[in-house]
Amino acid sequence: MNSRPIVALDAINFEYGGARKVAALTDITFSVSQGEFVSISGPSGSGKSTLMNILGCMLTPTSGSYQLNNEEVSRKNSREKADIRNTQIGFVFQNYNLLPRASALQNVCLPLTYGGFKRRTRKERAIEVLTKVGLEKRIHHHSNELSGGEQQRVAIARAIVTNPQILLADEPTGNLDRATGDNIMDMLENLVAQEQMTILFVTHDPDMVKRAKRSIKIRDSRIAGDEAQ
């Protein structure tokens, strides 16, 4: 495995503003190298999604440093951050976040529209990743005509279609039965093994934690454990 750190967080704090201030992340420090497969777990409200949103450049830390490929993310403007999201990071949302009236193919093509690819190239690439997640027979189904596990697979296809360095997945198996969840985990494992993708995923499930190579635990906004396994 290559040990170059892709992600390096140093003393990250995040506080939600407004009337009820919440210290959602406190003094978070860790780094992740290319090809790592990392689970993030911890009680509800401990800060897991906040952490994923910071890693995904959707939230800016209140203080601390986030380096992505040796570049400080907090120094980037919002256009540069959008660019990072579109090219370097794939994000799988817990509730899939698909466009319901658009087909699986249209959903997966969407991130490629920002990349200046030709229409035909976009379609070919989208079909390729939909095939990879086992949905070649469902490409024209609207996402509201797909099962939960199929929607999750479209969400993963959409997240990997740009061939990002990092895949961030917030509870990718949270709403699925055991067999479908295992199948999604097999898929993530293959992306790490075959494409050296770097994957961080949030889970509540101890069996899914065991499948990662490293487990980070969050408790009350702080890191409570970080172990290779």
Ligand X SMILES: Nc1ncnc2c1ncn2[C@@H]1O[C@H](COP(=O)(O)OP(=O)(O)OP(=O)(O)O)[C@@H](O)[C@H]1O
Q: Of ligand X, Mg ion, none, which one does residue 50 interact with (CB within 5 to 8 Å by kind)?
A: ligand X
Give the residue with the Cβ less far from ligand X, 48 or 153: 48
Q: Of ligand X, Mg ion, none, which one does residue 45 interact with (CB within 5 to 8 Å by kind)?
A: ligand X
Could you tell me if 41 and 48 are in contact, meaning their C-beta atoms sit under 8 angstroms apart? yes
Binding to ligand X in span 123-182, by CB under 6 A: none
Binding to Mg ion in span 45-64, by CB under 5 A: 48-49
Contacts of 165 (CB under 8 A, 6+ apart): 6, 34, 69, 88, 89, 197, 198
DSSP string covering 85-134: HHHTEEEE-TT----TTSBHHHHHHGGGGGGT--HHHHHHHHHHHHHHTT
Binding to Mg ion in span 170-209, by CB under 5 A: none
**Torsion angles phi and psi, residue 62, rounded to 5:** -70, -40
User: Which x/- pattern, by CB under 6 A, does the window 40-79 give for ligand X?
Assistant: --x-xxxxxxx-----------------------------
Number of amino acids touching Mg ion (CB under 5 A): 2
Binding to ligand X in span 5-44, by CB under 6 A: 16, 22, 24, 42, 44
Least distance to Mg ion, CB of residue 51, Å:
9
Least distance to ligand X, CB of residue 114, Å:
26
Could you tell me if 52 and 220 are in contact, meaning their C-beta atoms sit under 8 angstroms apart? no
Q: Which of 202, 212, 218 lies closest to 52 in space, CA to CA?
A: 202
Beta bridge partner(s), residue 5: 33
Give the residue with the Cβ less far from ligand X, 23 or 110: 23
Residue 143 touches Mg ion, criterion: CB under 5 A:
no
Cα 223 from Cα 84, distance rounded (Å): 26
**Torsion angles phi and psi, residue 226, rounded to 5:** -155, 100
Number of amino acids touching ligand X (CB under 6 A): 11
Binding footprint of Mg ion on the chain (CB under 5 A): 48-49
Binding footprint of ligand X on the chain (CB under 6 A): 16, 22, 24, 42, 44-50
